[in-house]
Homo-oligomer: A and B are copies of this chain.
């Protein structure tokens, strides 16, 4: 057995323990392309590797990273820590700004969970004009980030010249809301050339294969408005993602597919089923989806509604949305609220999908509640913070009802 093979065997053993499944279940699903283990060969001492896909618990990603307006490595490392504490299964460092490499190196050094990036962000930070970027630069950055140890990368290879045509002749309300999608749209439109990520996809596959980077096929044309959900633009890109999924599998590269976005409740199931059909069951990584456009300030909630329903219907991986969405760069408190909301969505789907350990945790919580065992309730809660604050503020004693009903608590046996 090669060194790489024995490393992966050890990782799978560890994940099997976390998931409560057998090692062969994981190996089988990964082989069939219905699950992925995002893990760069460099990341030998990763503490919390994970598996994402069919048959496993629903996972949650937290986006961290600075922006040109707020770029501070310390804050981003703090967000990494609170994300993991709140239960994020992966993080993506989406820094877009001059310090991207410094921040990414620090995140990779201290992250116990898999780390993802969107390499086009780094490309654009190193060039002043989008149209002026040379096609090779995209591939160079992907190689650099793979060598740095990035575990999974969003590759916006689905936006082709054809997608741009479909978009240009569409009457979309919300336009393009993906940063990466918009960058490539502009590059293709201004240069009148094919998307380099699509054109040189084989080179990307070589890099991914060499470093064991999982490819997350980006949905640059995801709907950013309820009205645009399931439109021709979105599904035209999805068809290309299906083709690229097959190419990843043929090359032995792990692949998952990203999905929307803003989608009303009545279109979520069709979105999940269509992704699964077009990609022959590739893990589906959804951003939200948000079930209304008017949730600014509360989009962790609109995202939890859509995420729970999407995961119940088969989505595998939820990208969190924070209360800062559509307003500002999230701070650490926003990050906690975002992770917890997504974990609630993921756990609600695990429950609905009959996951035994999820059901057991709820069972234990209900017993603790019936017994008014506050310490146990805190230990079993999705996040202990609010219960800890309640203990301090309201001085709840053991076996004592809370201030909601006082002596009339239904759980007291008077």
Do B403 and A328 touch across chains, with their CB atoms under 8 A apart? yes
Residues of B within 8 A of A410 (CB): 175-179, 181-182
Pick the residue among B345, B382, B407 that contacts A294 (CB under 8 A): B382
Write the nearest CB–CB distance from A184 to chain B, whole angstroms: 11
Do A366 and B227 touch across chains, with their CB atoms under 8 A apart? yes
Do B227 and A347 touch across chains, with their CB atoms under 8 A apart? no
Using C-beta atoms within 8 Å of the partner chain, give the interface range for chain A. 35 or more
Do A365 and B294 touch across chains, with their CB atoms under 8 A apart? yes
Residues of B within 8 A of A67 (CB): 403-406, 408
* Interface presence of A207 (CB below 8 A): no
Pick the residue among B175, B181, B327, B347 that contacts A386 (CB under 8 A): B327
Residues of B within 8 A of A312 (CB): 265-266
> Please, how many angstroms separate the alpha-carbon atoms of A253 and B365 in the complex?
40
* Interface presence of A383 (CB below 8 A): yes
Q: 4 additional contacts, CB 8 Å, given A266-B353, A309-B309?
A: A293-B366, A296-B377, A296-B386, A328-B396
Look across to chain B and name the residue whose beta carbon is closest to the beta carbon of A306: B348
Pick the residue among B96, B390, B408 that contacts A405 (CB under 8 A): B96
Copies in the complex: 2
Q: Which of A31-39, A102-110, A240-248, A297-305 contacts B (4 or more CB under 8 A)?
A: A297-305
* Interface presence of A173 (CB below 8 A): yes
Do A265 and B186 touch across chains, with their CB atoms under 8 A apart? no
Residues of B within 8 A of A283 (CB): none
Residues of B within 8 A of A304 (CB): 301, 304-305
Q: Which A positions have Cβ atoms within 8 angstroms of B?
A: 67-70, 96-97, 121, 124, 130, 173-179, 181-183, 186, 224-228, 262, 264-266, 291-298, 300-302, 304-305, 308-309, 312, 323-329, 340-341, 344-345, 347-349, 351-354, 359, 361-363, 365-367, 369-370, 377, 380-383, 385-387, 390, 393-394, 396, 402-411, 414
* Top 3 closest pairs, chain A to chain B, by CB: A297-B386, A225-B366, A68-B406
Do A352 and B390 touch across chains, with their CB atoms under 8 A apart? no
Do B366 and A265 touch across chains, with their CB atoms under 8 A apart? no
Known: A69-B403, A174-B366, A266-B312. A301 touches B124 (CB 8 A): no
Pick the residue among B68, B97, B293, B411 that contacts A175 (CB under 8 A): B411
Do B124 and A408 touch across chains, with their CB atoms under 8 A apart? yes
Write the nearest CB–CB distance from A22 to chain B, whole angstroms: 25
Do A329 and B386 touch across chains, with their CB atoms under 8 A apart? no
Residues of B within 8 A of A175 (CB): 370, 410-411
Sampled A-B contacts (23; CB under 8 Å): A67-B404, A67-B405, A69-B403, A121-B408, A175-B410, A176-B410, A181-B410, A183-B408, A225-B362, A225-B369, A228-B366, A265-B349, A291-B351, A292-B344, A294-B362, A296-B377, A296-B386, A297-B386, A298-B344, A300-B301, A301-B304, A301-B340, A327-B394
